Amino acid sequence: MAVKTLIKTSEYHDSVSLMLVARELSKLPGVSDAAVVMGTEANKSILEQAGMLTDEVKAATPNDLVIAVSAPEDAAANALLEAEKLLQKKAGPAGEAEAFRPKTVRAAVKSSPAANVAIISVAGRYAADEAWEALRRGLHVLLFSDNVSLEDEIALKQYAADHGLLLMGPGAGTAIINGVALAFANVVPAGPVGIVSAAGTGLQEVSTLLGKNGVGITQGIGTGGRDLKESVGGIMMLAGLKALQEDPATQVIVLVGKPPAPSVTQKVLEQVALCPKPTVVCFMGGDMEAVKAVPNAIPARTLEEGGLLAAKVAGAPIGDVKAQIEAETLRLKEQAAGLKKALKPGQRYLRGLFSGGTLCYEAQVIWTDLIPETVLSNAPLDKHKQMADSTRSQGHCTIDLGEEEFTVGRPHPMIDNDLRIRRLLQEAHDPEVAVIIMDVVLGYGAHMDPASELGPAIRQARQIAHDAGRELFIVASVTGTEQDPQGLSRQSAALTEAGAIICGSNAAASRLAGMLVA
Amino acid sequence: MEKHKINDLFGKPVTVVNIGLGSMAQSIRDQDVPVVDLDWKPPAEGVKRLMVTKAGIDIDAANDEAVKRIKAGRPVLVGMGVAKDVIPGMHSRMFLHAGPPVTWERMCGPTRGAVMGALIYEGIAKDEAEAEKMAAGGEIEFSPCHHHHAVGPMAGVVSPSMPVFILENKAFGNKAYCTQNEGLGKVLRYGGMGPEVYARLKWMETVLYPVLSRALETLPEGIDIKSLIAQALHMGDECHNRNRAATSLLLRAFGPALARTSQNNEDLARVIEFIDRNDHFFLNLSMPAGKAMLEPAEGIPGCSLVTVMARNGTDIGIRVSAMPERWFTAPAGIVKGLYFPGFGEEDANPDIGDSTITETAGFGGFAMAAAPAITKFVGGTPELAKQTTLEMYEITAGEHDGFTIPVLNFRGTPLGMDIRKVVETGILPQINTGIAHKKPGVGGIGAGILRAPMACFKEAFDAFETL
């Protein structure tokens, strides 16, 4: 047994805090006695009676802090270290009653040392600075803001990757970290699938499709759409993938995005090959052959296929995915054939009104196989399918209303239905339109009851067509779960009630809509 | 640096900092997950977020070093002496004053009053008229206290014969000097003139000083002022506008030595009474303590922290560590406060004194949460005091682990004003202060609070950007 003491000159603490530290020290293994006191005469005499009055303690002044421990050599040294830690810890943040709202990231981190994730949604020109601030303070970042320069994105992501942090974005609308929905995200169960997505609504669609099949997720990591560009090089997709590969809770991985630059595809697939975990690669409409070359990689052409394949690999009791999609397609074909009879000969065109960019993209991938004519878009698969004026529809066309041209100075269409409703009514007046396809995205961040506004608008749109003596089909899918604040079945029922045809996925809705005009 | 991995986040409880849309924070709250929703405002237009200086120095690292040095400081009252004998650069025709340099022509009323009063006290001038002529005629060299390792409250006039406290920063060996505090009301440091002012100063020179000095000589370790400040912060003082607890603690520290060295019990009794009746006696120790702790942080390349903030009643000036010789000035502000009976805001001189060294050193107005009682100066509440301190964390580089605030769960006081953060956030440093009458000769008329003006921080920031 040894008595070890540590004198901290001129360090003052109130006695209650010191007693609490002493009590913690006494509980340490091997420690038979501990004292943490100011070096007053009274305290020294107490230490003397306890046999802990070393020469060092004798020399201490009332302004010095005395830490004394009676324990075997090793345990005593350890206890002294622990004492220092406890003394620092004591100076923690203030309690919850604090009404004060910090104004800067650094102050927030100082007052809440447990903070580990930042969500940044300030205007683009300020966003990079705030992201730097957050990263430098060790926070993982969901950078929701758009309009961050490519240079800033690359620098931020490189720093994040070097420091073991996530920099999700810019323009990352969705993430689910440890079950917490960040920004636009759904309430999905916990489970064995980890997702890295360069497409926000893609992550929502895949995670809810998994949920609909009873499969949950570990993490849903967003990267922002530009991550897969050549210049960014997939920094975050690679970092997220690696983390999920090393994560023992993740047994199946899903990668989601538009087709990356070839060099990025190669880097991602090389990383996929380094870990035997089954990895569904859903680069919508991308090169399936390259994916097939990696033994543990499973290619998927659409979000629906990606979600179902991952569910199956994760053990969901569903049959062969390809066969299942084929069967569903047959069923949709029959349904379309029946519906088509109600259309007038001039009703030839499809119009898409999307709030989720990835869903708009998935629809176009599906239509390339289905609709022989060109489908134009403000967010096209190929540049030559670009709409000349996205406020004016012509032929087959599909619009991503979440594109920047529509959201500057206006809330996103997932939050505010106004713009989409106006466009819906506009399309309803067009005698050439046969079908309008829409996505309805639920979850945190989204409108609290979209069907309450979209429902009446759908009814009105169809009435406009009926009044003009024609039918108008409105096909929709609802991306969400029963546990979402809006409730999947409640929303679906209200939309069906309003006259919409609700499909089980965006892919199914896209097929049905396509078949109605094909 | 410790190697982190993304995986370290997995499985841990999430705590979110939300920067931007309130709905994002609400969604997190709805999931019963803790979220700090920033009261975010865009930074001032055109202000760059500087991380490295033009010369490539990491500013945060430089600031960390400064904070480390300030925290390590250990100011101890080691002795006393007469100004002209002990203050470096002082001579028999030099008067020190508070704040940045100022000429007699631009000197405010209270400083002029203090200079004239000191000339009479020194026996250099026989009356106010002669004193004014001498001061205006260039017979006296004026110099800021801060150019001599000294600090002075209010007018801050230190004349050659005045006794001063000598503090030594035991961690670095540097010294700081300050006169003995006269009390409130009609006193020299507030510009007060008159026979009672000179008589008090004489008594302080001939009785108070020898009594205290003799006692100190028997205390080889001196008196640890840092420790007294730390304790007083737990007793309702912020050691700028409220020094009641610290003054009591000081008397306790002095007590036995005073008794042992007493040559005349009536003198001793008067000394104890004088200190007891002057709640601000300790201010003249907390200020040089701040000065002693801050000086080692001066002159660190790339450091954007303020090491001096001081006012002369005409201008307020700051000095920044990386540019230790330069003053950046702006007109001194108007104090909002409470006035003694018979006085009002129309009588008040603009902000004055070196006492803002306390805020600069991480106490004073920055530790307002520790001193809820002083919020009565502006009709505020203890909650306001707390919010003031919390706001100061936004513009400081560190927290003083030696000085803690009980009501903030013993969090360290905000330490190290960063000119970058002041300019960027627009949050101005809190100052707690006394108020002097604008006319020479009247003295102190109240106390209150204000914020330092942006102009001097902006000017300093612009200069810092070029380094």
Q: Are residues A360 and A312 in the same domain?
A: no
**B163-222 pLDDT tens trace:** 999 999 999 999 999 999 999 888 999 999 999 999 999 999 999 999 999 999 999 999
Q: Do A9 and B74 touch (CB under 8 A)?
A: yes
Structure confidence by residue, pLDDT tens digits, B373-428: 887 766 678 888 899 999 999 999 999 999 999 999 999 999 999 999 999 888 99
What pLDDT does B270 receive?
97
Tell me how close the Cα of A54 comes to any Cα of chain B, in angstroms.
21
pLDDT for position A95: 41
Q: Using a CB-CB distance cutoff of 8 angstroms, which residues of chain A are in contact with residue B383?
A: 99
B26-49 average pLDDT score: 87
B168: left (phi over 0), alpha (psi -120 to 50) or beta: beta
Domain of residue A22, CATH code: 3.30.1360.30
Q: Both B153 and B283 in a single domain?
A: yes
- Quick check: B14 and A101 CB within 8 A? no
Confidence (pLDDT) at B96: 98
Output the tens digit of pLDDT for each of chain A's 518 residues.
Answer: 789 999 988 777 766 677 778 878 888 888 888 888 888 877 787 788 778 899 999 998 877 889 999 999 888 888 998 888 888 765 444 443 446 789 899 889 988 999 999 999 988 888 999 999 999 999 999 999 888 999 999 999 999 999 999 999 898 889 999 999 999 999 999 999 999 999 989 999 999 999 999 999 999 999 999 999 999 999 999 999 999 999 999 999 999 999 999 999 999 999 999 999 999 999 998 889 999 999 999 999 999 999 999 999 999 998 899 999 999 999 999 999 999 999 999 999 999 999 999 999 999 999 998 999 999 999 999 989 999 998 899 999 999 999 878 876 667 899 889 889 999 999 999 999 999 999 999 999 999 999 999 999 999 999 999 999 999 999 999 999 999 999 999 999 999 999 999 999 999 999 999 999 98
**Average pLDDT of chain B to the nearest whole number:** 94
Report the gap between the CA of A105 and the closest CA in chain B (Å). 7
Query: A48 and A191 share a domain?
Result: no
Shared domain for B317 and B267, answered yes or no, is: no
Per-residue pLDDT tens digits for B64-94: 999 999 999 999 999 999 999 999 999 999 9
| CA distance to partner chain B, nearest, from residue A425 (Å) | 29
Q: Give the residue from chain A lying closest to B71, CA to CA.
A: A11
What pLDDT, in 10s, does the model give residues B320-333? 999 999 999 999 99
- Same-domain status, A17 and A163: no
Per-residue pLDDT band at B1 (split at 50, 70, 90): very low
In the stretch 183-242 of chain A, residues with CB closer than 8 A to chain B read 183, 218-219, 239-240, 242
Positive or negative, the Cα torsion across A33, A35, A39, A41?
Answer: negative
d(CA A320, CA A213): 14
Instruction: Examine the domain organization and report whether A134 and A80 are in the same domain.
Output: no
Residue B216 covered by a domain: yes
Predicted local confidence at residue A34, as pLDDT: 86
Distance CA A31, CA A54 (A): 17
Which of A90, A119, A134 is the C-terminal boundary of a domain?
A: A90
Give the pLDDT score at A90: 52
Strand partners, A474: A436
Question: Which structural domain, as residue segments, surrounds residue B35?
Answer: 6-40
* pLDDT score, position B374: 82
Is residue A99, in this structure, part of any structural domain at all? no
Cα–Cα distance, B189 to B193 (Å, whole number): 10
Asked whether residue B258 falls in the same domain as residue B130, the answer is: yes
CA nearest B176: which of B98, B289, B79? B289
Q: Do A122 and B10 touch (CB under 8 A)?
A: no
Question: How close A432 comes to chain B (CA, Å)?
Answer: 40
Q: Tell whether B49 is covered by a domain.
A: no
Cβ contacts below 8 Å, chain A against chain B, sum to 206
Distance of alpha carbon A241 from alpha carbon A220, whole angstroms:
11
Q: Is residue A95 part of a domain?
A: no
Contact yes or no for A101 and B391 at CB 8 A? no
Query: Virtual CA dihedral for A331, A332, A337, A342, nearest 10 degrees?
Result: 130
Which of 100-139 (A) contact B at CB < 8 A? 100-112, 114-123, 126, 129-130, 132-134, 136, 138-139
Across the interface, whether the CB atoms of B234 and A14 are under 8 A apart is answered yes
Say which CATH number the domain at B256 has. Answer: 3.90.1710.10
Residue A239 to residue B6, Cβ atoms within 8 A: yes
The full 3-state SS of B25-73, as one line of letters, equals HHHHHHCCCCEEECCCCCCCCCCCCCCECCCCCEHHHHHHHHHHHHHHC
Check B17 against A106: CB less than 8 A apart. no
Residue A431 lies in a domain: yes
Is residue B402 one of the residues assigned to a domain?
yes
Rg of chain B over CA atoms, in angstroms? 23
Where is the domain boundary, A299, A321, A343?
Answer: A321
Task: Note whether B222 and B151 are same-domain residues.
Answer: yes
Domain of residue A448, residue span: 324-517
What is the arithmetic mean of pLDDT over B294-302?
98
Cβ–Cβ contact A49 with B under 8 A: no
Same-domain status, B147 and B245: yes
**Which chain B residue has its CA at the smallest distance from A9's CA?**
B74
Maximal CA-CA distance, chain A: 104
Residues A377, A249 share a domain? no
A328 with A316, same domain: the answer is no
Give the best residue of B19, B386, B403 to mutate against chain A (max A CB count within 10 A): B19
Average model confidence (pLDDT) across chain A: 92
On whether residue A460 sits in a domain, the answer given is: yes
Question: Which carries the bigger pLDDT value, residue A51 or residue B437?
Answer: B437
- Domain assignment present for residue B296? The answer is no
Interface test with A, best of B2, B10, B170 (most A CBs within 10 A): B10
- Which residue has tokens 């957050």? A134
CB B224, CB A63: distance < 8 Å: yes
The answer to whether residues A367 and A287 belong to one domain is no
Total domain count, chain A:
3
Do residues A290 and A354 both lie within one domain?
A: no
pLDDT at A15: 61
Residues of A in Cβ contact (< 8 Å) with B235: none
A166 in B contact zone (CB under 8 Å): yes
User: Which residues on chain B are in Cβ contact (under 8 Å) with A95?
Assistant: 409
For B380, list phi and psi in degrees, rounded to 5: -90, -175
Q: At a CB cut-off of 8 Å and minimum separation 6, what does B330 contact?
A: B315, B316, B453, B454, B455, B456, B459
Q: How many domains does chain B have?
A: 3
Whether the upstream peptide bond of residue A170 has omega within 30° of 0, thus cis, is yes
Q: Distance between CA B155 and CA A120 in Å, rounded?
A: 48
pLDDT at position B185 is 84
